[in-house]
Amino acid sequence: MFSDFKSSFPQVTIFSLSQIPINNLSLDDGANIENYNRMATLVESMLDLNKELQEAKTPDEKVVLERQIAATDREIDELVYELYGLTEEERKIVEEARK
């Protein structure tokens, strides 16, 4: 039984993790500080909106919050694309992979 469970998950190695590009932001750079603060604000907003969604009482309230969450998610995506310098073509690839 355990072997079936274990085989259903892909194995992640240290090497494969080391291949993930991680953009290290230097907080000595004013633009990076601005991006960091913007990302932190967007993430806090996303958390708050999701909490509000859980507490929403009416269908209309839920729809409004879901739209705000989707808009905030798009803003986060755009900031990440900008931070990694993705071209329009690369952005399309990422978007297709998310579907």
Compute mean pLDDT per 10 residues along the chain, 99 residues long, and list them: 60 84 78 89 97 97 98 95 91 89
Structure confidence at residue 45 (pLDDT): 98
**According to the model, what pLDDT value does residue 7 have?**
62
Domain ranges of the chain: 25-98
Return the amino acid letter for 72: T
Segments of the chain assigned E as strands:
none
pLDDT in the model for residue 6? 58
pTM: 0.74
Instruction: Assess contact for 76 and 39: CB atoms under 8 A.
Output: yes
Residues 6+ apart with CB under 8 A from 26: 32
Question: In this predicted structure, what is the pLDDT of residue 16?
Answer: 83
d(CA 51, CA 70): 14
Confidence at residue 69, expressed as pLDDT on a 0 to 100 scale: 97
